[in-house]
Structure 1
């Protein structure tokens, strides 16, 4: 069994290194980084973004990192190619962060002693999935996605600000309905524009209700707490 696992890891490393060589990526085996304070600012049309866990910097193992991207930001964990493309557009983040396939890295536009004195994509390679880092996320194709804060719920003003902080807007009922027509389902009430609360359902269940469609729970007091449906426009 140990031999099979070792062989599998060797093949994954070999594939990754061949990809790096063929694509001409800047690549280094090991370095260290400085932890960020919050979500990084994006440059130009860079879609990739860096996220910390609710417990602060370097608090996410690999499984938690994937969940953080999906459940709080409607995104997937970024690939090495996503990070490379962001680096090509001027993106820099001195913070070792999870990428897909269990690798860790970060992009540098200029050398810095506190960031390992490296330039390009600094890779720490494959890591133990139990180790703790931040994570690079990349938006999914859905225009509407559900977001929860670290405490699980937000007032309307907090929800609106959270969507704006991600460079997006709080979704309208019509935008959520359009996404529902494309198959989107998330059976958890969330804020919509105009202080409405609702969620999109396709399956009949105790969680989703008896009728498919966008469940409109009406206008609620702004001080009540829910998650939020954010809207990501096509030109983001």
Structure 2
């Protein structure tokens, strides 16, 4: 009845009222090539059904490990099921997802056009070794490149993504200011690590270090703004002897007002660290000059840790470092070289007129 009254009016406007069965079969064609329609005989929730073609995005590796300064490929592949008879124009967006922070764009590409962003500009490209290959190649890896990366493939209404974790091989070490313990706010901790050729460690990096035996009873900043410390041997004063081993957490702290130490992460270095042979011991000023005269620079704490952990540097001689601390690296523990475990031994920050050896970096 209503349809009979409406048809003349709609016809005058150039419109046609379709029967319900015909209306249910109407398909809307969007310029991305996908057809879809709201199926009236579905479950009543108005779901959108595609015409049987589905976009899949996959990665054969959930995580990739690499060394600082090298190149790495983060795998990402896409395909359609069923396969399409003709290629389609898809867009890919790679993003970096640092801990507890908004994702940052790395690269966006469509066809032969692409754009990279921020510190990744000029260092990234798509591999494109085969159809559907959108793997991201990052050159000249930096300390802060570690973290999760999202590969998002967009084809009109279709949008699928995967994440790949990028890990840098390196070492976590605790660090405190020459002014004493618990003197660093978050920004100061960031700067302190950077000054030692390192970066604030992530939670994952500290967890790995704890799993490998790091035990340190002083709380330090991490890259996500939390304050934590690793305990392998529970004891009083370090969270209590009745708690299980693990990471003790203070949670998020005020990044300007609260002060702690820092946990830094150092990765492989391009040069080498060595103990400078000298006929006499040196004060700090003399140590700086001695390295310069040997065509080197005085080594930083992060460089010494990286050389100890990644190249096996072992020397039972205390030496000056660039921050005014005195340390020495031991990979094979022995009598008169400190505790029975491998590690970097520290004398703290002695007066700079005292005499020691020196570690140089070239």
User: Normalising to structure 1: TM-score of the pair?
Assistant: 0.45
Name whichever structure is richer in helix by fraction: 1
Structure of higher RCO (CA pairs closer than 8 Å, 6+ residues apart): 1
Name whichever structure is richer in strand by fraction: 2
User: Normalising to structure 2: TM-score of the pair?
Assistant: 0.31
